[in-house]
Amino acid sequence: MGVFTRLKESLSKTRSQLVEKVDDLVRRHPVFDEKLYDEMEEILIQADVGVGIAAELMERVRRAVKERRIGDDAGLKTVLKEQVLFLLGEDACPVNFSAEPPTVVMVAGVNGVGKTTTIGKLAYYYHSQGKKVLLGAADTFRAAAIDQLGLWAKRVGVEMISQREGADPAAVAFDSAQAACARKADLLIIDTAGRLHTKSSLMEELKKISRVLNRALPGAPHEVLLVLDASTGQNAINQARLFSEAVGITGVVLAKLDGSAKGGVILAVRKELGVSVKLIGIGEGVDDLRPFKAQEYVEALF
């Protein structure tokens, strides 16, 4: 099965929630009036595009329909596609590699979003391209997290730096950075906790890891990727704001897109947070983490 076909299949729930409802709406409203636009805006909100962005999108659609004198459903759908693509903006590369290796990617996200699985798939993606990848198990507050990352390291065929459960996460990050330099790794991916079992603040711990990485390797972390669960919709945006304020995320990985009817959250991430969706999870397979390409996404959705 080709990548586009897999992407199209993964968006089936979002398509039924958004595009098919728009198609049905237009069939029931042959006249493009305010009632049509209001109902279309409501459909967008239900797909977790976000209230403000849905209003902006419909204003842009109204204007384009009027200026181009569009009066048929195919034309309206084309305009909607164009405006969604415009709001998504340009594609961003999954990881911006530093001029001098190793590139350090710090991965954050609350427990349950698929963070460790995403790291494993990201390691596979670059390892399969011939990059030397190293994993750092800095989520030391759960033994299961260290074990799970270790299983992914073995599965993918990469090395992992870890310490015992309860060790200082920043110390693990520091050791990982030193190991990445010593072993001439191209890419170091650091796992972090999604919740702490201590009185210390999760966000303060993430800031500390970031500072320590920069001390070990000036300029690191070069990327801070936040993993979000697509199925949580607007709750994902609230999570993203908190993490962004703490550690300045550089991009988002939208996991579990294949199980979500709320794929419109991609628009909310781009517009409300001002960061790019860099990767999307479109299935359970090890190769189902894909670079996000706006044009491809819109074509598959519509």
Instruction: Give residue 103's pLDDT.
Output: 98
Cα-based distances in Å from 83 to 4, 31, 70, 87, 109: 21, 20, 15, 6, 30
Per-residue pLDDT of the chain (302 residues; tens, 9 = 90+): 677 788 888 888 888 888 888 888 888 888 888 999 999 999 988 888 888 899 999 999 999 999 999 888 888 889 999 999 998 888 888 999 999 999 999 999 988 889 999 999 999 999 999 999 999 999 998 878 999 999 999 999 999 999 998 899 999 999 999 999 999 999 999 999 988 655 568 889 999 999 999 999 999 999 999 999 888 877 888 888 888 888 889 999 999 888 776 777 888 888 878 888 999 998 888 999 999 999 998 888 88
Q: Which fold has domain 103-301?
A: Rossmann fold (3.40.50)
Listed in order, the ranges of the chain carrying CATH 3.40.50.300 are 103-301
Torsion of CA 234, 237, 239, 240, to 10 degrees: 170
Residue 125, C-beta contacts closer than 8 angstroms, at least 6 positions apart: 94, 287, 289
Residue range(s) of every CATH 1.20.120.140 domain in the chain: 3-88
Return the structure tokens found at 59. Answer: 């204003």
CB 295 within 8 A of CB 260: no
CATH of domain 3-88: 1.20.120.140
Phi, psi of 173 (to 5 degrees): -60, -45
209 membership: H or E segment, kind and range: helix 202-216
